[in-house]
């Protein structure tokens, strides 16, 4: 019993994409449940707000709001629904933005 399900799951505990593997680290303190607002980081200087709005809209959702942090390396982006935000995170976390920058996407506790 249960043997048929073995191929349906995978342990990503040692994946390089797993940012929350070190308990007590700064990243570990920033784990939040799914919400419509996403935290974006590792944004290169050449990428504009419109570029990110278009990228996220292309995941099939609607971008409701966007706000760059002061340094433009991070931003908050709000999708229309939690479901759209989940799909955008799945599609775009670790997305190559060029200039050796891979986009980091996580759920945010903040709102815009």
- Cα(84)–Cα(34) distance, integer angstroms: 10
pLDDT for residue 78: 99
**CATH number at 32-112:** 3.30.70.330
Buried b (16+ CB within 10 A) or exposed e, 31-54: eeeebbbbbbeebeeebeeeebee
d(CA 68, CA 43): 10
**pLDDT value, residue 11:** 75
Q: Output the pLDDT for position 88.
A: 98
Report pTM.
0.79
pLDDT in the model for residue 31 = 79
* Total number of residues shown for the chain: 112
């Amino acid at each position: 019993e249960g043997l048929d399900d073995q191929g349906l799951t995978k342990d990503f505990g040692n994946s390089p994409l797993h940012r929350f593997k070190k308990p007590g680290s700064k990243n570990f303190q920033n784990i939040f449940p799914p919400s419509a607002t996403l935290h974006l980081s590792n944004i290169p200087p050449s990428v504009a707000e419109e570029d990110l709005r278009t990228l996220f809209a292309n995941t099939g959702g609607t971008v409701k709001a966007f706000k760059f942090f002061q340094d433009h390396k991070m931003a908050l982006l709000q999708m229309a629904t939690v479901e759209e935000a989940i799909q955008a995170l799945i599609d775009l976390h670790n997305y190559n933005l060029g200039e050796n920058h891979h986009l980091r996407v996580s759920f945010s506790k903040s709102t815009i």
